[in-house]
Amino acid sequence: MNYSTTIQLIDGWTPQTLKDWLDEGWTCDLIVKAGKWHGARVLNVIITGSTREDVETKRRAFNAMIEAKGYGIPAKK
């Protein structure tokens, strides 16, 4: 059985380097699709794995990576 989870990244909070990395398909077990959530543009990141634990481990690693790459509310200048 294959399991998955979806993470939505708000487009305006996603740094260009992270968008490029996701768009170029350098990732494995991730599917990235453009979408909308409550009218806002988002990137839907779908993480797949063979077990729930596998998906959860990948989700945690992905969250840590995107935070390290600068994902979040842009700092006010």
The pLDDT of residue 9 = 85
The pLDDT of residue 27 = 62
Residue 47 and residue 29 in contact, taking contact as beta carbons nearer than 8 Å:
yes
- Where the chain has pLDDT below 50, the residues are none
CA distance 44 to 77: 28
User: Tokens at residue 63, please?
Assistant: 């969250």
The pLDDT of residue 1 = 61
Q: How many CB atoms lie within 10 A of CB 54?
A: 15
Which pTM does this prediction carry?
A: 0.64
The pLDDT of residue 10 = 86
Into which CATH architecture does domain 3-68 fall? Answer: 2-Layer Sandwich (3.30)
Using DSSP's 3-state secondary structure scheme, residue 1 falls into: coil
